[in-house]
Amino acid sequence: MAAAAPPPPPSPAPSAISEDLLPTSHNLFSRIRLAKIADVPHIHKLIHQMAVFERLTHLFSATESSLSSTLFPPNPPQPFTSFTVFLLEVSRTPFVSIDQINPSFDPVYKTVMIDVPINDPEAELFKSGAGGGGNDIVVAGFVLFFPNYSTFLAKPGFYIEDIFVRECYRRKGFGKMLLSAVAAQAAKMGYGRVEWVVLDWNVNAIKFYEEMGAEVMKEWRVCRLTGEALQTFANVNI
């Protein structure tokens, strides 16, 4: 009878996994707050970047002065009763509470987990002076909206004129965060709806809006009188 084969040698103990191979994540802290007149230079730059993205720079004529005088006039109306701007700010360090301009709106804070730290080539250009955190707070986006009215609902609502997130901060949920802040304010005030328009070639935005529950109303068209056409029609002898 042949001798039994010797038992196999014991398996070596598994080596410790290098920490370099473990998945890592990084916190990016964000805040949405009401804009103020000192934010106009950032708002102006954001609008210009949006015009570039939308291929509409030939229509861009806003200046810091014109934005200041129309968005933040002397004795300005209360936020949410006229043109209102929410600013999105981000930081690698946590935010702390700040004194807000309007007691009816508390800043919105959210921590986002990202795999790789974001390289913002324009961080210095968009550095925020609002305080409430470290010295690395930057402006990452904005939304501008104002009241409108639905005769069918017999309720006011909000119309979003512009919503924009800078390129290096996209696809992180910040656009949804901005829209949610406007929707939450509308619901808080008992408003009936929030509306905005989207360019027909921006299929990614259209898909995003539909997934969040918005109805893209293809049967409606935007009508606009501006420039010479506005002046000409204003002088029509009715």
For helices 40-53 and 64-71, the axis angle rounded to 10 degrees is: 110
Catalytic entry in 109, 149, 191, 209? 209
Catalytic status, residue 169: no
Compute the distance between CA of residue 107 and CA of residue 29 in angstroms, rounded to an integer.
Answer: 13
Residues that are catalytic? 209
